[in-house]
Homo-oligomer: A and B are copies of this chain.
Amino acid sequence: MAIADRKLREKTERRQAILDAALHLFIEQGFEKVSMRNIADAIEYSPATIYLYFKDKNELLLDLQTQSFKQMAQELNAVANIEHPAEQLRAFGEQFLSFAFRHPELFELMFIMNGPMVAAQACAGATAWPGGGSAFAQVVAIVQRGIDTGVFRPQNADSTALMVWAQVHGLAALFLRQRLVVMPEERREPAMHEALAQFYDLVRRAL
């Protein structure tokens, strides 16, 4: 069935073309300023065509979110070979922040926007979130290794990982959502990195 194969291939190609165009627009102009019609214009199709490939806008966003998580996972692999767990956590945090700064729109999609999560919970059961799941598992693994090797004191690895995740997410989210206007412009980025350094100092001293 060569014809059916080609049809399927073309279908997934067009689907990916829509995703690519959408991501481009979102990154360039931000999520608030890009509509389904804009995306349709960019790929030179009718708006209704997009709905042949995606149930709705949220599903499109979820697909982009999953792609973004893959990209982040790839970038976070840079910390995979650091032996000391505390040092590895520190590197992870800085890599995470760096990702958030270099790709603010992707960060928003992955950790702030509601749309993709609505789609995730609609399509799968209440517990399935492929992208975020593996990202969090990465943190849990680092913490667990720290506990297993006796570097960290015994603890619930998942709540410790949550503490780490909340710390880095909190810093990035407060900054990207303009909540650091409480401090003078020139102090914002330095204070973030100092806060992160202090946090990992606490981890190294007392975890």
Q: Which residues of A contact B (CB under 8 A)?
A: 32, 111-112, 114, 117, 120-121, 126-129, 132-133, 136-137, 155-156, 158-160, 162-163, 165-171, 173-174, 177-185, 187, 190-192, 194-196, 198-199, 201-203, 205-207
Contacts and interface: CB of A to CB of B under 8 A. Distances in A.
Contact of A167 (B127, B163, B181, B183): B163
A206 B202 contact: yes
Contacts of A174: 111, 162, 165-166, 169
Given A191-B156, A195-B163, A206-B202, A182 B117 contact: no
A186 to B, nearest CB: 11
A148 to B, nearest CB: 18
27 contacts: A111-B174, A112-B112, A121-B181, A126-B181, A132-B179, A132-B182, A156-B191, A158-B187, A159-B190, A159-B192, A162-B174, A162-B180, A162-B183, A162-B191, A162-B192, A162-B194, A163-B199, A165-B170, A166-B171, A167-B167, A167-B170, A168-B170, A170-B173, A201-B206, A205-B205, A205-B206, A206-B206
Contacts of A190: 159
Contacts of A121: 178, 181
A183 B158 contact: yes
Given A187-B158, A191-B162, A181 B120 contact: yes
B117 A191 contact: no
Contacts of A207: 202
Contacts of A170: 165-171, 173
